[in-house]
Amino acid sequence: MIQFDETVCRNFEVSSRREWLETNGLGGFSSSTVAGLNTRRYHGLLVAATRPPVGRVVLLSKFEEILVVDGRPYELSANRYPGTIHPEGHRYLKSFRLDPFPVFVYEMDGCELEKSIFMVDGENTTVIRYELRAPATVGCSLELRPLIAFRDYHSTTHENGALDPTLDVQPGSVKITPYQGLPPLFLAHNAAAVEPAGYWYRRFEYDRERERGLEFQEDLFNPCKLTFSISAAKPADVIASVERRSVDAAGACREREMSRRSTAAAGQNGNGFLKVLNAAADQFLVRRGDRATVIAGYHWFSDWGRDTMIALPGLTLARGKAGLARSILLEFARRVDRGMLPNRFPDGGEQPEYNTVDATLWFFEAIRALVQKIGDYEFVKFNFYAVLADIVAWHERGTRYGIRLDSDGLLHAGEPGVQLTWMDAKVGDWVVTPRHGKPVEIQALWYNALRFMEELSREFGCGDAARRYSEMAERAKESFTRQFWNQPGGCLFDVVDGDRRDPSIRPNQIFAVSLHHRMLSPEQERSIVGVVGRELLTPYGLRSLAPGDPQYQGRYEGDPASRDSRYHQGTAWPWLLGPFIRAYLRVNGYAPGAKQQAAQWISELQRYVENEGLGQIPEVFDGDAPHRPGGCIAQAWSVAELLRTCVEDLASPALPKSVRARKSPRPALGVSA
């Protein structure tokens, strides 16, 4: 259980930077800070996914909360307005904990009030409960003023005449429908009284948006006031939902959610840290129709092909959730077009975007990991083998954006104005890291895919196909080892494009050592790990560029253009720690001392997860100390790769136990007999 006492809670600079996150398995979420202050446009008690897992709208931003004890009001909320914080409810905050969802305890004059917030799995519903834990001897009442936004979660709203303030007030329920085209907000409650209000609260300021150089002011509308008689025996309950609910369900919803999460935690082996990571992983696994997918990051990412394939082994296979892995892979397989996996599904529900070269190749690796883990060849044969073969064929003859197999057996990709690898930042028409030509990790992934296809073909009795894939792989290996080895640097070039060799020291080369099928000699692999560790390793991940490079940027900060220009020019990425540790352990034979060193490298991220991160790992950190976090507060591949590393690389000397325990005499794919 992650928890903080008043030394953290009442320190505004600390508590306003610690953000909690609740999710509903649909792409919707509830989120804010320990201080109770919304610091992002994305913060809100109910951010609903209207077209799961996308179409997200902020319906209920927050409550203004006043506890009245013996006629004396205590304002418990906190807001930033121009030049001031008002109210300062965090001054009453005694403690905060995730148990398993956010719980706040306020203390004032002998009265202790506990507030809990959770989302209901599978529903755009948030339940908020207020309970007196140390009641005063006098009467208490609670006043709640809901503040609504009703807007796309990427934007802000301002006072306007289009809002319809009309309320539909029924016993125990308030229906709010301020704009046509958006779902209604239902507030089920056990309040003693409901009073219409109709006021605008103006000029809320969001600190993190100001730091990001984005619109940071917003007006919110207060449609009504709810007044509760509250006692130790009678909590105040509110269910905020896009559907009409009965407040009588609040207690049952709470018990059901606690039971569901407790069952999920009990089903996961490992120490407390692994249980925290498992809980974090669950927040990214969501529904898309009747299948599963992965939200790349909260608060603002949807499901991305690249992120999903990289995160899949850690989010599912390392946790014994092969069924979820199958569902995710099936969903993306049916989206393959012209030999390419979608890069992302837009928030507005438009057609998927196909502008990535690596997502498709990570698809091969995700399927390979599935087969290695559970040996389900038949599932792969009937659902993926033809799709994978067609992908290879499309790459041979050429597909979008100049992605094609060159005469030397390596993959060429790129054309002016587009960015196809994971280093995909773009400022206007400027592609910051274009990496056109033959990026190093694309060749490593291509070779890995060809060897996997060779093994599948042999498994399925397709001898001619197996020989062809083997020949393609051998040609790629010969060209790669000849063209990419940077002898003076003892590492690999980042991109080869004709006669041009990019000597930038970036983390992309680590995949030539971490992927299952590899092309280099043991001496070369050891040298690469040494260079990457020396130049790029930080306590929170690998830098995207070595500090000695003239283009290096050690701080990820500023407005969108400034941040995008720095995104892959030195920023440290936690997810890269996973492939680095696997590569490091590989070249050191998984020796106990090497594992101990790897565990030490993870320790700072563990400390972050259990403190500042409130159970989650962000997208990036600064490349320079003190390595401030940035980007999304919760990133799928950050969590997935750390979890996979802890379960597979540090808990087992070489192979997952499920592979070693197979009864079949045939070894799993990629595992030597």
Q: What is the dihedral of CA 115, 120, 126, 132, to 10 degrees?
A: -20
Residues forming beta bridges with residue 5, ordered by sequence position: none
Long-range contacts of 287-290 (CB under 8 A, 24+ apart): 287/25, 287/26, 287/52, 287/53, 287/122, 288/52, 288/53, 288/331, 288/345, 289/331
Fold assignment, 267-660: Glycosyltransferase (1.50.10)
Residues 587, 513 contacting (CB under 8 angstroms): yes
Annotate 20-49 with DSSP letters as a single string: EEEE-SSS-EEEEETTS---STT-EEEEEE
Q: Which of the 8 DSSP states describes residue 120? A: P
- Is 2-262 CATH 1.10.3470? no
Per-block mean pLDDT, blocks of 10 residues, the chain (673 long): 95 97 98 98 98 96 96 96 97 96 93 96 97 78 98 98 96 97 97 96 98 97 97 94 96 92 74 91 95 96 96 97 96 95 80 93 98 95 98 97 97 93 93 95 98 98 98 98 98 97 98 98 98 98 98 96 96 98 97 96 96 97 97 98 96 41 31 25
Q: What does the pLDDT read at residue 263?
A: 81
Return the ∠ at Cα 512 (arms to 509 and 518), rounded to 5°: 170
Q: How far apart (Å, rounded) are the C-alpha atoms in residues 72 and 258?
A: 34
* CA-based radius of gyration for the chain: 26
State how far Cα 287 lies from the chain centre: 15
User: Where are the domain boundaries for CATH 1.50.10.10 in the chain?
Assistant: 267-660
In angstroms, the CA 477 to CA 34 distance is 52
Enter the pTM of the model.
0.94
| 272 burial via Cβ count (<10 Å: 0-12, 13-18, 19+) | exposed
The type of residue at 477 is: K
Q: Which helix (H) or strand (E) holds 659?
A: helix 657-660
Q: Which of 573, 577, 563, 53 has its CA nearest to residue 304?
A: 53
Query: Residue 201 is encoded by which pair of tokens?
Result: 């609260």
Tokens of 69: 């004890």
Cβ count near 577 (within 10 Å): 27
